[in-house]
Amino acid sequence: MQNYYVLLLLLFLGSHEYIEVIASTTTRKKQVRFLIELELKEQFQIAKAGEEYQKLVSCLPEFYVGKPEYLTAIVRVVCDAAKKSMKEKKMYLAPWRKSSFMQMKWSGFNPTYHHTQASESNMSFSGAPNAVVAVN
């Protein structure tokens, strides 16, 4: 049964791409992780959603740049609204529309992970942080 869920996860995560930046500075010991999602609003489009849900999705930005924790909160709120909208229309909410599946898109588990280390010679600002950029 576990293989079924791994296969299902790979099926839904296979075509999703985003950018992950892991930055560290000389002043902070802990690395800071940022996500860049260029199609945030598109991830939440539902064809037969209710008017209230469509209003909520229209308030979302086209792209997201920020910490994963903040994106998780956004995903949770929008997915709860999707669930409510579909329930009001007496329709089934597909598994890939649920919060846990949506959050997996940005979890970092992706077989198409590309890792690039930004060198200091590429940095144009003095004191700029070193960054690791991953395209998932």
Q: What is the mean pLDDT of each run of 10 residues along the chain (136 residues)?
A: 60 70 81 90 90 94 93 94 92 86 75 49 40 51
Residue 111: inside a domain, yes or no?
A: yes
Number of structural domains (the chain) is 1
SS3 of the chain: the string is CHHHHHHHHHHHHCCCCCEEEEEECCCCCCCEEEEEECCCHHHHCCCCCCHHHHHHHHHCCCCEEECHHHHHHHHHHHHHHHHHHHHHCCCCCCHHHCHHHHHHCCCCCCCCCEEEECCHHHCCCCCCCEEEEEEC
Domain encompassing residue 95: 37-135
